[in-house]
Every structure is written in structure tokens, then in C-alpha cells.
Amino acid sequence: MARPSTPAALAIDGDRLLRRLRELGEIGADPRGGRTRLALTDADKAARELIVRWLSEAGAAVRIDRIGNIHGVLEGRSDLPPIATGSHIDTVVRAGAYDGCYGVVAGIEVLQTLSAAGELPRASVAVLVFTNEEGVRFAPDLLGSRVVAENVALEDALALHSADGCSIDEELRRIGFAGSVSPRELRPSHFVELHIEQGPMLEAEDLTIGIVEAVQGHSWWRVVIEGVANHAGTTPMALRRDAGATAMQLACALIRDAEERGVPNVATVGTITFEPGAINVVPGRATFTIDMRDDSVYSLRRAEQRLHEALLRLDRAGYTTHAQCTSRHEPVVFDDELCGLLQRVAAQRGLAARRMLSGASHDAQMMAGVCPSAMIFVPSHRGISHNPAEHTEPRQLVQGADLLLHALLELANNPETCHAPSSL
């Protein structure tokens, strides 16, 4: 076998990467379009079995941990802690082919390229495939990586039930992925997740690569405003306690804050309902949801504070208000040195890159609590994701995987270039 003279000459097999993405994308094909491969279903089982086969073909030792995460490890030349990459292969309903799957298949491609070259790096290189990232069938999302990061206890995770009454524990056993290894067994020195952007920024700026330096935190609220339902014809404007109009004004004010002050970075009122809900009745009760996201804890708190101040003013004006936090994630800042390394390697590979934020959640944000972590994004055409129309140009998929290969190789051969955690 011809050996490349320098690591820089190593290249992934782009055709194999794209072929495997297509093959994986056919598992769980949904007759309505796209694929539906919810966590721990028969379709997930079939996809997992394919991934295990490819990992073995790539020369990796495969282990399954107790939450069903797949660990594929290509042994290095030393006993340095492994460098890890990975993502997820469970999907939402009628998903595209790339969300999560791209990072996993590209990781396998990196292992296969390294083992075929016959020159193993100093540190081992691992691909992690996390259980139930999407959180569609079992809540919360990011479950496999949460357990690795001890954000959720293993026993609690195993006891979670889906809406159809199945527990994670039972489903893992049923599909043959209830492993015996501790989720903390693999203690990587670094984690890099490759993923599609799922947003429009890279395409709009004609860039190939995003180096993700932070994941936005989110704060979700369900807000209820109670006023007085009354006759729409006989109640003068000045004497109304119109819960509907008040809710709309508050919703607009929150959105305007994001537009004008940029705090939070984005705000979305995704649902709003009025009761009793009739054309000729002043609404007595209004309920809306607000999704606020920011990369700064401070800004997210300020946005929450403004919401509460506004509700307090409404209480004083005679309304009754309730606000319930339905989900909250702190922003996660990735490792600056690791982002710097990714940026350097992207420049060496001639790839146009910029640093950016992720608006969506990813396993890497949990891994950031385990070891220095960061992410690489490739463009999503028109920013479409969680949709069968999800698309990234094949050339860009190959370029992203090429960057992953060379970044992991650099880390695995010179882990000292990017600081290792002191506990290891």
C-alpha cells in the first residue's frame, strides 16, 4: 500500500463518505419523505448495527456503554488519553440525511483513513455515537452525552420513559445495545464535533467552515395573562382589561428588544392563544410562549429580568400573570485554544472559515464539561434542517471531513499543542 510521505498528504475517501451517508440515510426511510429514526427504535437499531460494522472495518475496537453510546477506538502508539470526535444517528420525524450522521460517518472515515495509511498517531482516536440526542422519543435531549458529562445520572436516564410507555433500559436491551462499559470509561483529552450548520450564515457569507466557539443558551417561558372577558361592542377601550392585546404588546416588546438591543440575540414567540377565543369577546386570558437565546449568561439573565419586570407592572395594573420556565440551558463557551487550532488547520487546508455561534444544541456542549471541546460547521443550503430538504454540497461535506482528519491528526500527534486537562 502506498504510504503518504507526510501527514499533510493524507486524504479521506470522499466517495466512500458520501456513499455511506446515502446508505445510512436510507435506514428508517419515511414514506412521507426523509427518514424517521427515533432513538432506540428498530430503525435506530439497524443504523447502529451498520455503524458498528463500519467502525470495525475502519480498524476500531468497538464498545457499547451502559447508556448505549457506541465507542469506536483506533489505538494509537502511546497510552496518551484519546482524542474524540462524534455525534448522533437518531433523527427527528422526517429528518434530513446529515444532522448528526455527518459527524459520525466523517469520524469513521477519519479512523479508516488513518488505519489504511498504516501510520497510527501517538494518541488513540475515538468516535463516539451518542444515544437519544434529538430528544424526540425520550426527554431530555442530548441524553447520551449528558450521562457522560454526569449532567444526568445513569440510573435516572435508564428509567426514563417514552410517551408510548417504554423505558430506555428496556429498549436498549430489546435492540441489543445495553452495554456494560461505564459511560465515563473513555476519558478523552479533547472532543471535536463536526456538524452541519442548520442555519444560513455560512452560505450567506460564501464560507466553507464555521469554527463554533459557543453554543447559545436558551430560556423558554410559558406566560399566562389573565384580564376580564367582556363584550367587544359595549366595553369602552379605557375600561377594558384585555388579556389578548396586553399579551401581544408584551410579545412584541420582547421581540423588539432582540431586534434593537440584540439582547437576547434572538427571541421567538412561537405560540399564542386567547380565551374564550371569539371574534366578539375581549380575551379574558392569553397564553404565549417565548424562546430567548443568547451566548452570554448575563444577557440571557437581563432578558429574563425584563420579562419579569413587565409582568410585575401588569400585576400592578390589575392583571393576573403567571410565568413558568419550561426549559433552560446556560450558554456554553468552547475551548479557545482548540478553536484556534481548528482555525489554523482550516487555513492550512485553504478553507475559508470564520468563528461563529451555534443556535442549536449539540452533544459537544455536554462534552465541554468533560474535556476541552469545540465544533466544526459546514454550510446548510438555505439554512434548512430537521427537514428532508436538508442539503450540504458534497464538496463541502468532503472539505469538512478533511478538516476533521487533519485537526484530529494534529491533536493526536501533538496533544501538547493544545493544552490537556490537568486531571488526566
Residues that bind Zn ion (CB under 5 A): 99-100
Q: What angle do CA 355, 357, 361 make, to 5 degrees?
A: 135
- Minimum distance from residue 333 beta carbon to Zn ion (Å): 19
User: Which of 28, 227 has the CB closer to Zn ion?
Assistant: 28
User: Which of 241, 362 has the CB closer to Zn ion?
Assistant: 362
User: Which of 65, 99 has the CB closer to Zn ion?
Assistant: 99
Relative orientation angle of helices 14-25 and 101-117, to the nearest 10 degrees: 140
User: Which of 177, 377 has the CB closer to Zn ion?
Assistant: 377
| Burial letters 102-127, b for 16+ CB under 10 A, else e | bbbbbbbbbbbbbbebeebbebbbbb
- Minimum distance from residue 381 beta carbon to Zn ion (Å): 16
- Minimum distance from residue 404 beta carbon to Zn ion (Å): 15
Strand boundaries in 117-189, DSSP class E: 125-130
- Minimum distance from residue 22 beta carbon to Zn ion (Å): 18
- Minimum distance from residue 290 beta carbon to Zn ion (Å): 24
Reading phi first (left if > 0) and then psi (alpha if -120 to 50, else beta), residue 189 is in: alpha
DSSP string, 189-247: SEEEEEEE--SSHHHHTT-SEEEEEEE-EEEEEEEEEE---EETTTS-GGG---HHHHH
User: Which of 105, 251 has the CB closer to Zn ion?
Assistant: 105
Cα–Cα nearest to 402, from 115, 211, 212, 209: 209
User: Which of 99, 402 has the CB closer to Zn ion?
Assistant: 99
Which residue, judged by CB position, is nearest to Zn ion in the bound state?
A: 100
User: Which of 99, 169 has the CB closer to Zn ion?
Assistant: 99
- Minimum distance from residue 218 beta carbon to Zn ion (Å): 15
Cα–Cα nearest to 186, from 313, 274, 54, 69: 69
| CB-based contacts of 112, cutoff 8 Å, min separation 6 | 13, 16, 54, 57, 58, 59
Relative orientation angle of helices 394-413 and 336-348, to the nearest 10 degrees: 120
User: Which of 108, 409 has the CB closer to Zn ion?
Assistant: 108
- Minimum distance from residue 231 beta carbon to Zn ion (Å): 51
User: Which of 146, 241 has the CB closer to Zn ion?
Assistant: 146
| Burial letters 219-244, b for 16+ CB under 10 A, else e | bbbebbbbbbbbeeeebeeeebbbbb
- Minimum distance from residue 341 beta carbon to Zn ion (Å): 23
Q: Which three cell numbers stand for residue 337?
A: 485554544
Neighbouring C-beta atoms of residue 270, cutoff 10 Å:
9
Backbone angles phi, psi at 190, to 5 degrees: -150, 155
- Minimum distance from residue 195 beta carbon to Zn ion (Å): 6
